[in-house]
A and B are shown apart, each in its own frame.
Chain A
Amino acid sequence: MAELSATRDTDRRSAALVIEFKNVGKTYKSLLGNSVQAVEEFSLEIREGEILGIAGPNGAGKSTLISLMLGYLRPTTGAVEISGQPARSYVEGNGIGYLSELIAINPKWKAESALVRYATLAGLSDDEIPRRVEYVIDLLGLAEHRDKKVKALSKGNLQRLGLAQALLRDERILVLDEPTHGLDPVWTQRFRDIVGELRRPDRTMLIASHNLDELQRLADRVAIIDRGRLQRVVSTGYESAAPVATRYRITFASGFDLVRSVFPGAEEAGKGEYDVTVQSIEELNSSIANLIGRGALIASVVPERSVLEQQFREAVGESS
């Protein structure tokens, strides 16, 4: 496991640098002279082929960072570079697949014609436009809504339309801000499958989300930010996660009286349910094997908090 983790880290370091935040700061100033520091001394490198998650509580600066990356905002200090170019120059020259948190499409446009417009702006040829529009409509299940005006779409369908316009072109960089916001469980899962299919060695993706479980599943690393500062960067794979104390809930079918012989600090959480704390995934496995070896029957082992959630709470505090 440790070997695999080291290989992945080496792969990541050897991949080309795509996006670089260089000591970026952004301060909003009002006309009355009041100022709010939205992002402060933020530095981060994102390499080709990587899926980077951005997590943080409300108002942490996630959307500001994305606006800086797309060149919609100018940093007060520092710089954002994409493939060695200033961010805005890169976007103007190459484009980025972007799904914003707020899906803002003119409500009078029809769904399909909105996609045709965006495809035109994306530079697709007259031959490609119908083909790609049809592809994203099919991919995101928008066929029955294609002639509806944007204002007539439900929140979930609007979210899918937003994602559809981001996927019109075969982009090298995809930025998805709260991508499953408003999606039902079926489409949330479908979205995760789509992101899985989009993963490519030459494609870099950024996903900002409140949903830590989603980031845990999709991202290679997660940058945790709070009050505009990068608090820590967490690798999401269990094999590469830093060893931290993690709690699990073990449910016994029988033999629960054996639990304290293996986990002395186990706390009873319910009938046949115990909460235990381990230092590593190896310790968990050997202890469970020990329990089974002694004759216990275990129905389930569920992490009470994922490694990411644990790290998130440590980084931003329990109140978030």
Chain B
Amino acid sequence: MTGRLGKYSLWQFRDFFMQHGIGIAIIGLLWGYTLLAPLRAAMSPQTPMPMGPGSPIWGLVLQITSAVVSVSVLIAMNGIVATDRKNGYYRFLFSKPINRVLYYAQTFLVYMIGVLLIMAILSALLRMIVPSFNVAYFLLYAALVYVAMGGIGFLLSVATRYDWLTLAAVWLGARILRAIYSGPHAGFKGKLVQVLPPVHRLDDVANSLIGTGSAPASDVVWLVGYGLLCFVIGLAVLRYGSLAD
């Protein structure tokens, strides 16, 4: 008799909402409200503000929504594997007839659905203020960031106890180092930073994907490929490594 991992996904979904989802929703709402409420107050039927792609407000919307997605993924990845290892929860979980690789792969997928669901609700609310905002395009972008950033977060959660902290450091560090060592004169260091997460591609992808629903294929392949590779390495470490310290 093997475990019913599929059925257990309902419990994983519940855990996501209780431990991460509520926090993500509150942060998204507060962030969106504090930045967009003044705009809404300034608008009136007599003085409509341009809100379409290319307008100053659109730039602000892009900034806020892409930041909310990144923070949401950061929160979702917090302890996705590390908490079970740190607190010893793995002991009872994996004495049951289940495969730990499948268990965590399913957790990653369930959390992705959770993040997208909350992003759908938040973006539907945003659309009430900014009618040109396309929920489907935004969800595409959120899914891409989840895979790109979440894949790295997953690997870090398998490898370290302080996953969200290291993920934030890697994400920001990659941005900073890529900005410093870019251009034709960067030399060896410039080549070295190429192995860092391709976060610099994210701004362009956010602009085009949220605005038009399409993005340069090479950017998407880089981001998704990098995230998926990290995710697969994380699963391999789970498969061949030790759960106990």
Contact = CB atoms under 8 A, between A and B. Distances in A.
Interface of A: 67, 70-74, 91-98, 100, 102, 104-106, 108, 117-118, 120-124, 162, 165-166, 169, 175
Contacts of B1: 94-95, 122-124, 169
A100 B92 contact: yes
Interface of B: 1-5, 7-8, 11, 18, 87-100, 240-244
B148 to A, nearest CB: 29
B197 to A, nearest CB: 24
A94 B96 CA distance: 8
DSSP class of B's interface residues: helix, strand, loop or mixed? loop
B243 A92 contact: no
Nearest to B91: A100
Contacts of A104: 87-89, 91-92
Contact of B97 (A94, A105, A175): A94
Contacts of B2: 93, 123
B92 A162 contact: yes
Nearest to A121: B96
A105 B89 contact: yes
A96 B95 contact: yes
Given A121-B8, A122-B96, A123-B96, A95 B3 contact: yes
A95 B97 contact: yes
A121 B20 CA distance: 22
A100 B98 CA distance: 18
A102 B91 contact: yes
A122 B8 contact: no
Contacts of B93: 118, 121
B88 A100 contact: yes
Given A74-B242, A108-B18, A121-B8, A92 B98 contact: yes
24 contacts: A70-B95, A72-B94, A73-B242, A73-B244, A74-B240, A74-B241, A74-B242, A92-B98, A93-B2, A94-B1, A95-B1, A95-B3, A96-B95, A98-B92, A104-B91, A105-B89, A105-B92, A106-B87, A117-B8, A120-B3, A120-B8, A121-B8, A121-B96, A175-B95
Contacts of A71: 94
Contacts of A108: 18
Given A93-B97, A121-B93, A122-B3, 18 more contacts: A70-B91, A70-B94, A70-B95, A72-B242, A72-B244, A73-B243, A91-B95, A92-B98, A92-B100, A93-B2, A96-B95, A100-B88, A100-B92, A104-B88, A104-B89, A117-B8, A123-B4, A175-B95
A102 B86 CA distance: 12
A123 B3 contact: yes
A13 B97 CA distance: 29
A86 to B, nearest CB: 12
A62 B2 CA distance: 28
